[in-house]
Amino acid sequence: MTVNLDRRSLLGAGAASAAAVGLGTAAQAKAVLARGVKKADFAGAVAAMRKVVGDEWVFADPEAVAPWRKSYTPDPYGKHVPVGAVCPETAEQVQAIVKIANQFRQPIWPVSTGKNMGYGQTTTAAPGQMILDLKRMNRIISVDPELCTALLEPGVTYRQLKDYLVENNLPLWIDVPTVGPIASPVGNTLDRGVGYTPYGEHFMVQCGMEVVLADGEILRTGMGSTKNPSAWQAFKWGYGPYLDGLFTQSNFGIVTKMGMWLMPAPPVYKPFVIRHKKMEDVARIVEAMRPLRIANIVPNVVLMMGAAYQLAMFKRRGEVWDGAGPITDEAVAKAAEANNLGMWNTYIALYGTEGMIAESEKIVRAAFAAIDGEVLTQEEVGDNPWFHHHATLMQGGLNLDEIGLARWRGAKEGGGGGGLAWFAPVAPAKGSETKGQVELAKEILGKHGFDYTAAFAIGSRELHHIIALLYDKSDPAEEKRADDCYRELVTGFGERGWASYRTGVHAMDLVAQQFGAVNRAFNAKLKDALDPNHILAPGKSGIL
């Protein structure tokens, strides 16, 4: 595929041509101010913010805000477009910005590195917000090689942290979400994201925060507020109510520093893939995997990748399917076979000494031999781009291979694609849960003409169903269909008690509804108490 890089169409003709080259509808939508905020308030806030961070780090006219408007998520009605961006370099500047936001009632939406791709990037749940872009705050404050901990500012990417560790010969690993190079430990952890080493559950290995509150005060959690905060990154719980959780997937504060634990590099690392041939095998895989995960014989967050998801990473849809409607299981199976993939490809790794790994490997092999799983090592798989990708991830390596997903659909001469919304319902890790979920997902996706491109992940006792809703964002009708489809997924799964662990800005209120009125009212009370002017990220997780 070639990309249309015709300069005239890009630089000359404005909105119409921008749509034609696939910048999406929201990229041209007119941003509206937040309710109750007048033009003069917005102008006042912008002028005051310029005094704090300098003219060049406040962005308020539509063209200048363009980089913050880009998102993979559907926004057919232009409801999620930010009105501006402000980019501080210190916590003191953040405090000053919060005061200005209160004064002018101008809401601000914090992001760390803003690469929440498939969840909204730097767009917002409710309209009229300025993005509080913390990427410039990218100091690695400390790394303790003995305790294996780090303290970071929000703008530090996984790549920056990895470079630091490598260059200083520190034998510590990082754990990355699939898009590590451009994303951040702080942003990912605050949205309760995951990776694929034994430290894959990121909030579990977070330790201590510094938070700018809506009144401009600075709060330190855990041991950070004591006279000797040397245990800040060593002990998570501090004293009294545990506060850190309040600042994840929420809008109760702006995190300006975060502590985290790092895994010591193991002497030996050995990745495996386990292949199964049939769609329905996933139930047996979950049953076999659960005890291994709970007993920590398999120590990492496990991905069971469906063949269609794997194909979508490196293939364009037209290469494997040209029929009407969603791709069939038969077509997926045929393409999987041709590419040395199973219908399910389960990636695990073992970490430790040769002896430890040999013992665990015996147990793993026996468990999967019993359910007709083909257990393969690097040597046995040979040169396989999918194995290479997952073997990289399971050791905290960096790549962006999976961005190819956003080109599965709609790839054509001159562009297309660029639509991706993650739907991620949670269930207990029981095989019996998978059948109903797969059927329901296929039914709803199919109704709207979309493919079932999905994976399952087991953290410990829970099963995440990770469904990539892939669509062509350069086609406004398809963007609208994707939005409708996503809503039906949330409510359809919600009726069966399967609610999401996380969602994009386009569906935050709807997902909050699945968790019930009492929980919503509780969050609303906290919000009123902590942020009475509702200036921090209104709409995040359905909390206004």
Ligand X SMILES: Cc1cc2nc3c(=O)[nH]c(=O)nc-3n(C[C@H](O)[C@H](O)[C@H](O)COP(=O)(O)OP(=O)(O)OC[C@H]3O[C@@H](n4cnc5c(N)ncnc54)[C@H](O)[C@@H]3O)c2cc1C
Question: Could you give the residue numbers annotated as active site?
Answer: 119, 501-502
Query: Pairing between strand 130-133 and 108-111?
Result: parallel
Type of residue found at 324: A
- Asked if 102 is part of the footprint of ligand X (rule: CB under 6 A), the reply reads no
The binder of ligand X chosen from 24, 88, 110, 538 (CB under 6 A): 110
Per-position DSSP letters for 140-159, written without gaps between them: EEEEETTTTEEEE-TT--HH
4 φ, ψ (degrees, to nearest 5): -75, 105
Q: Mind spelling out the 3-state secondary structure of 434-478?
A: HHHHHHHHHHHHHHCCCCCCEEEEECCCEEEEEEEEEEECCCHHH
If contact means CB under 5 to 8 A according to the sort of partner, which of other proteins, ligand X, none does residue 430 touch?
A: none
User: 299 vs 418, which CB is nearer to ligand X?
Assistant: 418
If contact means CB under 5 to 8 A according to the sort of partner, which of ligand X, other proteins, none does residue 233 touch?
A: none
Subset of residues 119 to 148 that bind other proteins, contact rule: CB under 8 A: 121-122, 133, 135-143
Q: DSSP assignment, residue 415?
A: B
User: 49 vs 117, which CB is nearer to ligand X?
Assistant: 117
- Asked if 73 is part of the footprint of other proteins (rule: CB under 8 A), the reply reads no
The binder of other proteins chosen from 464, 473, 502, 540 (CB under 8 A): 473
| Tokens matching residue 188 | 């990912």
153 close to 141: Cβ distance less than 8 angstroms: yes
Min dist CB 406 to ligand X, Å, is 7
Stretch touching ligand X by CB under 6 A, among 9-17, 47-55, 113-121, 142-150: 113-121
236 close to 248: Cβ distance less than 8 angstroms: no
User: 373 vs 419, which CB is nearer to ligand X?
Assistant: 419
- Tally of CB atoms within 10 A around 366: 11
User: 57-84 in b/e burial notation, b at 16+ Cβ within 10 A?
Assistant: bbbbebeebeebbbbbbbbbebbbbbbb
User: One symbol per residue from 417 to 446: x for binding ligand X (CB under 6 A), - otherwise; what is it?
Assistant: ---x--------------------------
User: 253 vs 418, which CB is nearer to other proteins?
Assistant: 418
Subset of residues 370 to 409 that bind ligand X, contact rule: CB under 6 A: 402-403, 405
- Asked if 395 is part of the footprint of other proteins (rule: CB under 8 A), the reply reads yes
Min dist CB 420 to other proteins, Å, is 8
| Tokens matching residue 352 | 């430790």
In the numeric block, the tokens 């760390």 are attached to 112
Stretch touching ligand X by CB under 6 A, among 171-179, 278-286, 348-356, 370-378: 171-179
Subset of residues 204 to 263 that bind ligand X, contact rule: CB under 6 A: 254-255
User: 99-134 in b/e burial notation, b at 16+ Cβ within 10 A?
Assistant: ebbbebbbbbbbbbbbbbbbbbbbbbbbbbbbbbbb
- Asked if 162 is part of the footprint of ligand X (rule: CB under 6 A), the reply reads no
Query: Pairing between strand 462-472 and 426-428?
Result: antiparallel
In the numeric block, the tokens 């809401």 are attached to 107
- Asked if 155 is part of the footprint of other proteins (rule: CB under 8 A), the reply reads yes
If contact means CB under 5 to 8 A according to the sort of partner, which of ligand X, other proteins, none does residue 80 touch?
A: none
User: One symbol per residue from 363 to 392: x for binding other proteins (CB under 8 A), - otherwise; what is it?
Assistant: ---------------xx-----------xx
Subset of residues 403 to 462 that bind other proteins, contact rule: CB under 8 A: 403-404, 406-407, 415-418
User: 146 vs 167, which CB is nearer to other proteins?
Assistant: 167
